[in-house]
Every structure is written in structure tokens, then in C-alpha cells.
Structure 1
Amino acid sequence: MMEQYRADIWQFYQYKKSSGELSLNLKHPTAAKLRNECLLLFRKGLDKSDYRMLRSFLERPDKEEIYESSIRRFDPDKFKPLNNFLKKGTNTDEKNIELLAWLIDFRPRPFSNYRLTHSYSTDVGQEATVAEKRLDRKEVILEYPSGVKLFVDAYDFSLIAQLVRL
């Protein structure tokens, strides 16, 4: 399931990049630019789960507060695995995937929320089914020549790809 989450985040990043929705820091990433993007988003505010994710990424103890200076002084080399993932598609740790999900505003995040909203069949021959439990989703309408219309979460790229192939 984590691999599907990783793939969906990667596809969402590529979509936002090709549609021009990313900041320059993310469109042409470097380790330092990724750190700067974290700082910019931190200034805008975080929800509780994003705060926990950032604290974990910055390797801060659970009870310790995060300040702008914590991000500014954080070693940019720690962003290199994420930078390599974005540029070369190399494998990377879960903490880097969670950071990317936050940086590009992928929903649902973190993985624990994603897992709750997506249930996949264990049978190889069956297609994935999605149990949506979110109200803030954006939908795409797929209309087949037969006139059948399907409303699909715009962020569920894997399901859209399967439906388009039908």
C-alpha cells in the first residue's frame, strides 16, 4: 500500500510540474531549495499531522517546538535523498515521501489517512476500489461513449488510469 501512496504522490508531483502549479523551488529542486520551500510553507502554518511529520523529518524530539531557525539551520544535505527522488526517481525513505506530500499539498496525507480512504482488493484479477471519506476532494468526470459518467477523485491517478484504459 505504501508503494501505491508513493506512486500517487510522484504522479501528482509530475502533474503539478507539467501544469505549472509548482513553485520554482519545487520545479527545479536542489537540497537548499527544498529547505527554503519548507521554510515558506512553515510560515503559512501547519495542521497537527503536518507538524508531526515536519518534526520527525527535522529529527526533533516529540515535545520540542519547531521554529523558523530550526528549519534554516537544518543541514541541506538531509534533503538530498528527496532531491534525488525528484530528479532521478530513486527510491527514498517514507519520511521524504511524507515531506513531499506536504510540499505539493497532496491529499489525503499522511499515509495513515491515505490508507483509510483507499481500500485495495487483495485479488490480483480485481481492480482497486476507492472508498472516499473526504469532503474536500476535487472530482474529475470521465464520460464514456456509451454515455456512462463516472465521478472520480482527481488525486486518484491510478484509478483514473485504469478507467481510461477500459
Structure 2
Amino acid sequence: MYNNTEDEYKEAVKNEYERVKNGQYSSYLSAPTRSKLSKLCWEIYEGKKMNQTDLNIFNALLGLPFDINNKNGFKAQKNKFRPIETFYKGETNPLEMDKVDLAAVLVDYQPRPFSRFRTSDLSLDYKKNDSIDNPEPEVEDDDGEFIFQTPQGGFGIKEEPPRKISFIERLLRLLKKSKRTVFAILFTFGLTGTGTAIYLAFFEKDNMQWSKDHYEVVYKEGIEGNPNEIIDYDEHLLDFKKVSVCDTSTCFKPDGEAIVWYAKIGDKADFFNSNGNGRHPETKKSLRPITEYIKGKYKGDCPTK
């Protein structure tokens, strides 16, 4: 029987946070705040069919059951995400495992909660182990999840088998993995024209740089004369733009949630159509959701027809 410790659990969750913080939920995790983590939590629970274990984790920390009709009541709990924020940042070491359990949910770390982690075989890769080549006996646990028992007596969560990868995807992965090798192969087979085009398309122009009001996809040298930082290509930033805000601008959803974000620059503010990667592309200041007060104070003139 395994007896993994609380410190090992915390370290594992923190490592998973570092691994995924610039991924799908980077706008929430790359520069976490209690407000961002609260919104991410609601998005995760609202968007997935949660098992009873994760519902219990939600209830244990927040003191209320997850109810899709109680979003306003949930918003009042955002300060309870402060310990998770400081845990991700390495500023605190939570003593209560319910906080670490919810931190595990937000980055989808398995095995969770700690009660499961404590008796798990950590030599397994829980996130990727699909047991296709060597299937083990499967059982359904109390939470409705299918798990498999390992020869050592531990348990792993069985996920869906990976989908088949198309030829194009395999080619792109190979191209990304070994640029020189693939280019040499293409050259050897007399495909220098096509090979060069593919090489330039996939290897060189894989950066982004802020240009006036949006990100441009650029070569590694960037735009001549543009002093803004050159960053790695991020598909989520293609639609990220600076916007103008005036009296008639729609800045909120019907329920009051902001759809415009801002950062103050001296005595004015720049506005954007989303949270992007959480930072102003030029000043690197944190972006915040707009409020009626900010809109009223920093709005501009509406364009004339």
C-alpha cells in the first residue's frame, strides 16, 4: 500500500500548474488572481459534467454546492481563491488539503483529491496512460469514473484512447521536431522549391509582435522598426485587439459580465476586446475587466458618421 505525503501532493499539483499555465487557460493562469481563478473555476464546472468527487471538492472549499443557477452567490466567494493564487505563485504553503484539491481541479491534475493521491502508484503517468497495449482489469469507482488496477496494486484513471493522427498532423509534428533534417530530406528528393515554402511557412514565421492595435504573425526578426516584444505564436491572440470605448460601446453582457478589458496608461486607459494573455502587449501591465466607473472616466468620443 502506498502512503504518499501531503507535501508530495502539493509539489505535484504545483508542477502541473507550471506545465499548463501558458496553455488553454493562460488568460486565467499565467498571472493568476483570485478573480481570474474564480472565473476559471465557474467556467470549468459550468462547462463539464463533473463527477461527485470534484463536486465535493467544490463544496468543501466554498461551503456551497455547485448550482448553475447560483452564479451570483458563487461570485461572492472569490476571496476564497486567494490561498490558491498564492499557492500557484509559490508564496504560501496551504495547510488545508481542500485548497490544494481545488487547485488540482483548476489545472486538471490527476490523481485527485489527496485521499486518492495518497494511495496511488506515482510511477504511473495518470494523464496519458490509456492502457491500450496492456489492458488491465477495469472497475467503476464510487464517483462513476473508470479506473484500472495496476500490477503493483495502485489505481490509474483510464481516459479515452487517443484519436488517430492524420498524415498532415504527423508531417507537421515532424517538421516542428526537426527542421534541419526535414529540410535536408526535401532537398535530397529534389523538392527544394516546395520544401523551402513549407520550411518558411512553418518554421520561420512562427512568432507574433504587437503592431498598433493587434498582433501580427512575423518572422523571428520581427517587424523592422517595431520596438514591441516578439513572442511565440499563440493562436488565441490572433483575435486580440485594442478597441475604442465611447458612450455607445457595448462593454458588458446582459448579466453584467465585462467583455472589454483595460489597463491604465498614465492619465488614460487602453481597452481591449479580450483578456489576451493577461498583459498589456506594450507595457506588460495586468489587464482588468472594465467597470462602469472606468468606462465613464476613460471613454473617448464616439466616431462621427
Q: TM-score range by the shorter chain?
A: 0.5 to 0.7
Question: Deviations along 1:124-146, whole A, 9 cap, x unmatched?
Answer: xxxxxx754215269xxxxxxxx
Equivalences for residues 87-106 of structure 1 within 5 A: 87-92=89-94, 93-106=96-109
Q: Check the 8 A contact 1:42/1:68 in 2, yes or no.
A: no
Q: Which residue of 1 aligns with 2:57?
A: 53
Q: Matches of 2:153 and 2:18 in 1, distance apart?
A: 24
* Paired letter, 2:155: K
Equivalent residue for 2:156, pick from 134, 152, 156:
134
Equivalent residue for 1:72, pick from 69, 72, 75:
75
Q: Matches of 2:159 and 2:66 in 1, distance apart?
A: 31
Structure holding more helix per residue: 1
Structure 2, gaps ≥5 residues long: 124-151, 161-305
Q: Matches of 1:35 and 1:4 in 2, distance apart?
A: 25
Equivalent residue for 2:13, pick from 5, 9, 14:
9
Q: CA RMSD in A?
A: 2.5
Q: Check the 8 A contact 1:38/1:71 in 2, yes or no.
A: no
* Paired letter, 2:156: R
Q: Matches of 1:119 and 1:32 in 2, distance apart?
A: 32
Equivalent residue for 2:33, pick from 30, 33, 43:
30
Q: Check the 8 A contact 1:37/1:103 in 2, yes or no.
A: yes
Describe the SS at the equivalent of 2:21.
helix
Q: Which residue of 1 aligns with 2:115?
A: 112
Equivalent residue for 2:85, pick from 83, 92, 108:
83
Q: Matches of 1:65 and 1:13 in 2, distance apart?
A: 23
* Paired letter, 2:51: D
Q: Matches of 2:56 and 2:154 in 1, distance apart?
A: 24
Q: Which residue of 2 aligns with 1:151?
A: none
Give the greater-gyration-radius structure (CA).
Answer: 2
Deviation at 1:24, TM superposition (A): 1.2
Q: Matches of 2:28 and 2:14 in 1, distance apart?
A: 16
Deviation at 1:101, TM superposition (A): 0.4
Give % identity: 24
Q: Check the 8 A contact 1:119/1:131 in 2, yes or no.
A: no
- How many residues are treated as equivalent by the alignment? 124
Describe the SS at the equivalent of 1:118.
coil
Are the structure 2 counterparts of residues 89 and 52 from structure 1 closer, same or farther at C-alpha, using a change threshold of 3 Å?
same
TM-score (norm 2): 0.37
Question: Deviations along 1:11-55, whole A, 9 cap, x unmatched?
Answer: 11112236x344311121101001101110111231100000101
Q: Which residue of 2 aligns with 1:159?
A: none
Describe the SS at the equivalent of 1:101.
helix
Are the structure 2 counterparts of residues 89 and 21 from structure 1 closer, same or farther at C-alpha, using a change threshold of 3 Å?
farther
Structure 1, gaps ≥5 residues long: 121-129, 139-166
Deviation at 1:2, TM superposition (A): 1.1
TM-score (norm 1): 0.65
Q: Matches of 2:60 and 2:33 in 1, distance apart?
A: 21
Question: Deviations along 1:61-94, whole A, 9 cap, x unmatched?
Answer: xxx56343332232x2221111111123411131
Are the structure 2 counterparts of residues 81 and 107 from structure 1 closer, same or farther at C-alpha, using a change threshold of 3 Å?
same
Q: Matches of 2:157 and 2:55 in 1, distance apart?
A: 22
